[in-house]
Structure 1
Amino acid sequence: ATADFVDWLAVERIEGREIDIGIHRRWLDPTKPFAEAVLKPAHGALVTSATLRAGGDWDVAEQRSGAQHLAHPAQRFEAASPFDYPRQAEVLIVTDIKRGDMGALAAAYARLIVAAQGGTLGLFTAIRRLRAVHTRIADRLAREGLPLYAQHVDPIDTGTLVDIFRDDPRASLIGTDALRDGVDVPGHSLRLVVMEGVPWPKPSVLHAARRLAGGGSAYDDRIVRARLAQAFGRLIRRADDSGAFVLLSAATPSRLLDAFPPGTPIRRLTLDEAVDHARRLSSVASLGHKARETADPEGR
């Protein structure tokens, strides 16, 4: 790495076959060219995100947005969330799924989806594990009358998959970071988010250089907090939503739990207990959905 860039030589492989080789170069701090090309020439710029300060402070937000490279300090504004997270949501950390046990991971997804009677968004950090879980649970869920759709498996673009998922309260959808960061499914169709584990950054030459420049383990923690906050953010999209966020990882450090909104109940429990929570959640959510449909049959 130089002062501004990281350079490395890499071989690209697909399904075990080497298909390309090249020299790569990336900015060590990608917000520097963003500030030069976008922020500085602009008369004004508004950078906004519900997770820009996830678990951090304003210095972290300015580092992530490029504001630290401006000649004049940025103006800051923070609005309180309109949602009642202590009442509407809960975080469940499952403690008895062995890391690397694909059978146990697939069984956990299947049991949780069946207990919730669909309405589940499943998030993975690797396409390989997503496909392995899909292969193991798709038939079982189909026999239960619970459709399962999967990014990187179904030959349908992500936007269409989300539309299908949104329109069927008994359907579930599994995918990777595109679903973690950009899905808006308000209402009864999404009442459970299940994440396979703590979304640590993948080791690479680029990540190692940025980690060294960004403060070591504190840099990794900032990335994980932002990803957890984004994933949790899929759950509550309007004032009458409710649901649970399930993390299938016993090794979830307590220091990362401030990624979730203040006051959100956080429980460490077994898979059996999490399934009971999902079953109760489904019953309560179904009653509330039916009540809303009765009061407003046109869904306005």
Structure 2
Amino acid sequence: MRKLYLAVTTLVLAATSATAADRMNPADARRVQSAREKLVPAIEKEFGPKARLIHLYGHGANALAGIMAEPPSEATGDIPLLAIVGWNERTGAMRVVDREFKYREARSVGTQVALLEANGDLRLREANGRTRLLAQRVGGDLFPTPKGDALLATLTRTGNEAHETSIGIVDLTGRVKEIADGPGVDAMPSISPDGKTVVFVSGRTTVASFFRTTVDGAEPVQLTNKGLSAWLLSQGEPADFVPPPVSNYAMEWVDDDTLRYNAGGGEFWKLNVRTGEASPDLGGGK
């Protein structure tokens, strides 16, 4: 269960099956194909022919990408150490943010870049090139606030196995505020465009489910998979089961109340964060 929440898999950049490709929203298919065509050649030129594009972080002119030095000789299950590049999706231009392979993930925060190191140290690379420590014991799942003045993140815990991780918000002065902490794992936070609603995925009910809270830490409200348990799922997925996202980087807000996300295998879903209503999103322009 822990790997499910802490995995940083994002938009599928590796080859997908024909069936999955058929189910992918055309806009997402175009974005993945654009990344392959424009960014991959630049990565190979800058980092060598064995370097691989692993993750896309964010959208538009301030998108970032994680680069792996070379594919492992065998699957280990470990999250790879990444170098980070900036990528302007509109122009195709790439710039190197940090060429050392020592990061787990990254996010643009305004004109600055948040970089998460393997040891859980979260650092901020300022526009002038200076880097400073923001927070420690950060597990990942970075997601910037709409104003660009803070980051949502999954925080790791120490000495409390019942609560493996929690959801926190880290402002650019380094102040950390915990806003959700339940039994097991809380992870994958995301915030609405108006900055009022925070959603995250939790295993506190034994089934990965969406919950809603606020930046002030309001009591979390379960949105999906109410009444389900891991035991029930062992008998087969019921018709009303809502799958979790592959990561919070694969979440895109359609509006202040609607979240669209990648559930893996080419499946995309839409979730109303007010009502908890969710359904597959098989196509369209968004």
Same topology, TM > 0.5? no
TM-score band (shorter)?
under 0.3
Structure number having the greater strand percentage? 2
When normalised by structure 2's length, the TM-score is 0.27
Q: Which structure carries more relative contact order (alpha carbon 8 Å, separation 6+)?
A: 1
TM-score with structure 1 length normalisation? 0.27
